[in-house]
């Protein structure tokens, strides 16, 4: 039962299951009898389905009008249930039908009405539209209330604090306000709720210290239950204490239907509206979604633009988010101050890399990075979680911002943005037609299953979920004029395109989890150029003809490292050339800090493994230093080298220099860039490298002169000796 609860909670947070899990046979559930007789009418079929489904549930039974998932069923068990119904009872269902509405009575009606006709995945189901209309009417039951006091919140009720966005919002509310936060966490008791919240925060690289704990009250409850699962006494007492309500909790699942998700996403939102209207009037800040616009063919997604038509929303998630926002708009007519905050795709944290791998945008980016292919989309309306959370928390804490709609989507990324940005990171993407990309990606995921991307496999198989993807990838750019004005007024970090630099830490986390593939040293070079040096080692002529290359800007940003190949000719070592087996060059190694408090600051460090014609192995280490000297050019081009046999001390030392006439020819004009890039990308790559390298060299040359200046100003110390 504990495993089923954990899986259910994972699904509520947007969790997924592996392909192997989804296709495997469950061995721990008793099989239905091989031949079962039951009435072949709607009630009889519903009873048979309920009996079969009950064997997979913690309680061992399921009422015919109860939802399989809400009763504790999982995606894995739904797959097995469909297989059992077909094999043992002779009742066939499309798996999407179960995800759409997992009540036995509804499935029985669908079986009765279908009569062999394939399910319609183009428009919303009539029964879902009927339920949506009924749920919208529930908002009219809310009382009429006065406007809340326009004061920054002091006591906040927060739901969804164990989720990806909610956990970050909890920390931002604590950091940027003096408020005490009451967190409703689904758990059996307070001890379990506190433990679950702490585990969630730590999993997202967030602190959970005793100081933070002092300002948080954790309440065991459930947004799917009346009064949030609280006792009547606690409900009314809390309604009198709290002065602001923030609803982040939602069931995020792109496969389940409206009926399965409505208790969390629609009824939960209306329960928070009821709470906001109980006792002292309170503003309600509702985390909606840009999914309220997910109609294929919609032309505008501004903050005040009309939402999608409900009958053209296919995904249960889109339908429930639409219904919740529209119902809360009706609540505004009753005096309730409702703020709708609509994130798009929520990307990883730009500093910690914490991410939600089950977010649709994260799943798509993971696939882009892993397989280096991308469908021809229009825009990605996505922003990093730290920016979304910070702006949302600021709206909650600023009374003048209450009661409006905000698109928290950052600056939408175009196809060119994504392709160009990932190319600069060394990940060259091949653009494909949507159908071609879907088929090829699905084949790869099925051939080499990746548990963390199993939900994307299911999405790419599901006709219903594909409509959601199509609307997401073919929709217009979300406009956020009000959000941008608010951010500027409060001097918050401005919205930007969710670039490769912002995603860098998240990509590393995704790569560690086996989802994405980062550029590697063995990848095809992205940019390269020659470097020749001449000089002497061990009183004999020595020269090097090297090729310096980088596989991506990623290795520069993260490692400040350049790959080295080529050959070394040094007659003191060997009469023939020595081939570079492997080599690295580090720019400003050790942050340019001198060794043993010396005055020489390291600029570049070369480390090469060499092989001579007789298979003898050697090593070479070279250094360029910056120090107080008028001849800066000499410092940038002179390399002090040591050479020795592998496993032994240095046998030869000397100095080689880059000839002045070859520097510009080889290292500026001679820069080559991967021809797979466009002309604009090649030009940008070259300029980016030159700017980065120039900046790093400047940072390396400055400290010695700064130290010398400081010594001159301090007469109690001796001047730094000028070195030649």
Burial of 39 (0-12, 13-18, 19+ CB in 10 A): exposed
User: How far is Cα 607 from Cα 623, in angstroms, rounded to an integer?
Assistant: 9
pLDDT of residue 22: 36
Which residues, in sequence order, are bridge partners of residue 698?
A: none
Q: How far is CA 678 from CA 325, 369, 518, 670, 681, in A?
A: 44, 19, 21, 18, 5
User: How far is Cα 357 from Cα 315, in angstroms, rounded to an integer?
Assistant: 20
Establish how many alpha carbons lie within 13 A of residue 386's alpha carbon, considering only the half-sphere containing its beta carbon.
Answer: 20
pLDDT of residue 40: 62
- Note the pLDDT tens digit of each residue in 206-242: 999 988 899 999 999 999 999 999 999 999 999 999 9
| Cα R_g (the chain), whole angstroms | 31
CA-based angle 217:219:224, to the nearest 5?
140
pLDDT of residue 396: 98
Neighbours of 238 (CB within 10 A): 21
pLDDT of residue 538: 83
Neighbours of 439 (CB within 10 A): 13
8 A C-beta contact, residue 282 and residue 95: no
Token reading at 541? 């002529």
Q: Tell me the average pLDDT of the chain.
A: 85
First to last CA, the chain: 75
| pTM of the predicted protein model | 0.73
Question: Which contacts (CB < 8 Å, 24+ apart) does range 501-505 have?
Answer: 501/557, 502/347, 502/350, 502/384, 503/347, 503/348, 503/350, 503/365, 503/384, 504/350, 504/425, 504/554, 504/557, 504/558, 505/348, 505/349, 505/350, 505/351, 505/352, 505/353
User: How far is Cα 240 from Cα 406, in angstroms, rounded to an integer?
Assistant: 28
pLDDT of residue 608: 96
User: How far is Cα 49 from Cα 61, in angstroms, rounded to an integer?
Assistant: 11
| 541, containing H or E segment | strand 540-550
Which residues, in sequence order, are bridge partners of residue 604?
A: 587, 624
pLDDT along the chain (724 residues), means of 10: 44 39 36 49 82 86 86 77 77 74 83 56 80 95 94 97 97 96 96 96 93 94 96 96 97 87 96 96 97 90 94 91 97 96 91 80 80 88 94 98 96 86 72 89 89 82 78 88 97 84 71 72 82 92 94 79 94 93 92 71 93 94 82 86 94 93 91 83 84 88 69 54 44
Strand ranges in 204-264 using DSSP code E only, listed in sequence order = 216-220, 244-247
Task: Please report which residue ranges of 448-560 form alpha helices under DSSP H.
Answer: 454-461, 463-474, 481-489, 500-512, 553-559
Token reading at 528? 């390269």
Token reading at 71? 């009763």
Burial of 440 (0-12, 13-18, 19+ CB in 10 A): middle
pLDDT of residue 76: 67
Q: For CA atoms 486, 487, 488, 490, give the dihedral sign.
A: positive
8 A C-beta contact, residue 341 and residue 397: no
């Amino acid at each position: 039962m504990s495993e089923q609860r954990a899986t259910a909670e994972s699904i509520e947070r947007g969790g997924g299951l592996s392909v192997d899990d989804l296709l495997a046979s469950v061995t721990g559930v008793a099989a239905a009898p091989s031949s079962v007789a039951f009435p072949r009418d709607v009630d009889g079929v519903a009873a048979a389905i309920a009996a079969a489904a009950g064997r997979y549930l913690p309680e061992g039974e399921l009422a015919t009008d109860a939802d399989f998932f809400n009763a504790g069923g999982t995606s894995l068990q739904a797959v097995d249930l469909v297989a059992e119904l077909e094999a043992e009872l002779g009742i066939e269902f499309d798996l999407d039908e179960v995800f759409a509405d997992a009540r036995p009575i509804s499935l029985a009606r669908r079986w009765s009405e279908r009569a062999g006709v394939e399910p319609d995945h183009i428009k919303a189901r009539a029964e879902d539209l009927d339920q949506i209309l009924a749920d919208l009417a529930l908002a009219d039951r809310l009382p009429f209330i006065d406007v809340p006091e326009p004061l920054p919140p002091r006591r906040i009720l927060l739901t969804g604090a164990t989720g990806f966005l909610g956990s970050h919002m909890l920390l931002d509310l604590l950091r940027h306000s003096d408020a005490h936060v009451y967190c409703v966490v689904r758990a059996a008791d307070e001890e379990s709720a506190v433990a679950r919240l702490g585990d969630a925060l730590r999993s997202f690289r967030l602190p959970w210290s005793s100081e933070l704990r002092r300002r948080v009250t954790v309440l065991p409850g459930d947004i799917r239950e009346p009064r949030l699962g609280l006792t009547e006494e606690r409900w009314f007492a809390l309604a009198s204490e709290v002065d602001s309500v923030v609803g982040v909790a939602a069931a995020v699942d792109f496969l389940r239907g409206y009926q399965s998700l409505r208790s969390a996403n629609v009824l939960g939102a209306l329960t928070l509206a009821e709470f906001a209207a109980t006792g002292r009037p309170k503003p309600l800040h509702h985390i909606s979604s840009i999914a309220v616009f997910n109609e294929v063919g919609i032309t505008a997604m501004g903050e005040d633009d009309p939402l999608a038509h409900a009958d053209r929303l296919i995904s249960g998630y889109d339908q429930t988010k639409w219904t919740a926002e529209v119902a809360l708009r009706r609540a505004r007519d009753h005096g309730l101050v409702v703020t709708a905050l609509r994130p798009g795709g929520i990307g990883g944290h730009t500093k910690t890399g914490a991410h939600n791998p089950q977010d649709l945008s994260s799943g798509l980016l993971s696939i882009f990075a892993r397989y280096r292919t991308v469908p021809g989309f229009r825009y990605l309306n996505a922003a990093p979680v730290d920016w979304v959370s910070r702006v949302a928390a600021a709206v909650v804490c600023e009374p003048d911002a209450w009661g409006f709609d905000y698109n928290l989507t950052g600056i939408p990324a175009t196809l060119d943005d994504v392709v160009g940005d990932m190319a600069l990171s060394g990940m060259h993407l091949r653009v494909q037609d949507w159908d071609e990309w879907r088929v090829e990606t699905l084949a790869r995921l099925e051939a080499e299953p990746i548990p963390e991307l199993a939900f994307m496999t299911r999405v790419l198989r599901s006709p219903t979920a594909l409509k959601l993807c199509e609307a997401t990838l073919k929709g217009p750019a979300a406009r956020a004029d009000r959000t941008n004005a608010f951010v500027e007024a409060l001097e918050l970090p401005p919205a930007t395109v969710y670039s490769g630099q912002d995603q860098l830490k998240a990509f590393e986390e995704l790569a560690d989890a086996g989802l994405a593939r980062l550029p590697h040293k063995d990848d095809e070079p992205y940019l390269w150029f020659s470097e020749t040096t001449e000089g002497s080692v061990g009183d004999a002529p020595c020269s090097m003809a090297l090729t310096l290359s980088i596989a991506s800007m990623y290795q520069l940003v993260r490692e400040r490292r350049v790959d080295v190949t080529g050959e070394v000719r040094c007659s003191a070592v060997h009469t023939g050339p020595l081939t570079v087996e492997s080599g690295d060059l580090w720019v400003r190694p050790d942050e340019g800090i001198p060794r043993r408090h010396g005055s020489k600051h390291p600029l570049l460090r070369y480390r090469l493994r060499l092989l001579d014609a007789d298979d003898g192995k050697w090593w070479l280490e070279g250094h360029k230093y910056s120090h107080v000297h008028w001849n800066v050019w000499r410092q940038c081009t002179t390399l002090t080298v040591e050479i020795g046999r592998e496993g032994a001390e240095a046998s030869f030392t000397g100095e080689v220099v880059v000839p002045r006439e070859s520097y510009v020819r080889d290292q500026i004009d001679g820069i080559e860039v991967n021809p797979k890039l466009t002309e604009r990308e090649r030009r940008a790559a070259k300029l980016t490298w030159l700017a980065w390298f120039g900046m790093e060299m400047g940072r390396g040359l400055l400290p010695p002169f700064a130290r010398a200046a400081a010594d001159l100003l301090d007469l109690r110390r001796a001047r730094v000796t000028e070195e030649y």
